[in-house]
């Protein structure tokens, strides 16, 4: 029983990290309709900045906030200079440009920080274990579950229940009409992209214990981030949340039980899920 509950908690913690990082990609790919293969680079920026700051003596939470802001700033700069000209281009141009941006980011961060794995110094209370009844469980993973749950709730309110979310959907569906009613579409897209990049940076920083930081981070986890978006339903916030948790549980269970075949089990499950639900687990109403 305790073994199964451990797998459950580890899977949910892992899924929360996948969700936090991938939700920005859900917005850019599903709502803004930009194929952004460079999304993992923004997570890496946030993680690297946070790692450097904790190494310099800054507290964990200050480092995470600054890392998230740094990722958002880099994302905003890229949106205005690289992504904006791609909005009206085809998917091939977007793929080529964003994958090129990944290699540029890898080269730049390797030149500055080197190729070694990076770690973040956690506060002492996150390095302890907590008695949860059936066993002592790492406080860090409980922190990830709690943080992801709270963040998911507030993002749901922002995206599905706020005027801001409605404006994003209107700007994507009919930008000319959105401009006619006074919406600054370019500014809205930039703000949205900054937010998605900052979330990726936040996930990259707090998730170092589960997704280790290293030079090829954006490529190593790119497929995982894309899978969360596609399996959940492109453009579906709730779908991405469910997909991240499901995939986190599947990979964790595979790692615990048959570690040699865990990746095979994960992608087999993805294959089956997409055959069963080609539009995703919880697709937007327009796609269902």
Give pLDDT, residue 30: 66
What does the alpha-carbon distance between residue 72 and residue 92 come to, in Å, rounded to a whole number?
A: 25
- Give a three-class secondary structure readout of the chain: CHHHHHHHHHHHHHHHHHHHHHHHHHHHHHHCCCCCCCHHHHHHHHHHHHHHHHHCCCCHHHHHHHHHHHHHHHHHHHHHHHHHHHCCCCHHHHHHHHHHHHHHHHHHHHHHHCCCCECCCCCHHHCCEEECCCCEEEHHHHHHHHHHHHHHHHHHHHHHCCHHHHHHHHHHHCHHHHHHCCCCHHHHHHHHHHHHHHHHHHHHHHCCCCCCECCCHHHHCHHHHHHHHHHHCCCCHHHHHHHHHHHHHHHHHHHHHCHHHHHHHHHHHHHHHHHHCCCCCCCCCCCC
Give pLDDT, residue 54: 94
Q: How confident is the model at residue 254 (pLDDT cuts 50, 70, 90)?
A: very high
Q: Which two tokens stand for residue 122?
A: 């956690």
Q: How confident is the model at residue 89 (pLDDT cuts 50, 70, 90)?
A: confident
The pLDDT of 167-178, averaged and rounded, is: 78
Query: Per residue in 188-240, pLDDT tens?
Result: 888 989 999 999 999 999 999 889 998 899 999 999 999 999 999 877 888 99
Average pLDDT, the chain: 89
The closest alpha carbon to 71, from 183, 170, 206, 241, belongs to 206
Does residue 285 carry a pLDDT above 90? no
Q: How confident is the model at residue 282 (pLDDT cuts 50, 70, 90)?
A: confident
Query: Per residue in 130-156, pLDDT tens?
Result: 998 878 899 999 999 999 999 999 988
Does residue 178 carry a pLDDT above 80? yes
Helix 39-55 crosses helix 185-206 at what angle (to 10 degrees)? Answer: 50
Does residue 174 carry a pLDDT above 90? no
* Among the ranges given (25-29, 36-40, 140-144), the one the predictor scored with the smallest mean pLDDT: 25-29
């Amino acid at each position: 029983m305790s073994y199964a509950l451990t797998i459950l908690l580890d899977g949910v913690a892992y899924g929360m990290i996948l969700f936090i990082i991938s939700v920005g990609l859900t917005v850019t790919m599903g709502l803004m309709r930009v194929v952004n293969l460079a999304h993992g680079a923004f997570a890496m920026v946030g993680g690297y900045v946070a790692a450097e700051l904790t190494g310099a003596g800054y507290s964990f939470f200050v480092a995470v906030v600054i890392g998230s802001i740094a990722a958002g700033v880099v994302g905003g700069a890229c949106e205005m200079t690289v992504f904006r000209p791609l909005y009206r281009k085809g998917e091939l141009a977007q793929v080529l440009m964003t994958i090129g941006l990944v290699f540029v980011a890898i080269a730049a961060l390797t030149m500055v920080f080197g190729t070694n794995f990076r770690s973040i110094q956690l506060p002492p209370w996150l390095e302890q274990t907590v008695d949860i009844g059936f066993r002592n469980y790492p406080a860090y993973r409980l922190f990830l579950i709690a943080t992801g749950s709270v963040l998911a709730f507030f993002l749901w309110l922002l995206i599905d229940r706020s005027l801001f979310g409605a404006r994003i959907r209107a700007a994507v569906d009919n930008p000319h009409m959105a401009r006619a009613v006074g919406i600054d579409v370019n500014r809205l897209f930039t703000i949205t992209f900054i937010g998605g990049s900052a979330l990726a940076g936040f996930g990259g920083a707090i998730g170092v214990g589960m997704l280790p930081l290293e030079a090829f981070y954006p490529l190593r986890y790119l497929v995982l981030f894309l899978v969360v978006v596609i399996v959940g339903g492109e453009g579906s916030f709730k779908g991405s949340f469910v997909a991240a948790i499901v995939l986190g549980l599947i990979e964790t269970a595979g790692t615990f039980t048959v570690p040699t075949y865990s990746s095979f089990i994960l992608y087999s499950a993805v294959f089956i899920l997409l055959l069963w639900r080609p539009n995703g687990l919880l697709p937007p109403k327009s796609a269902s």
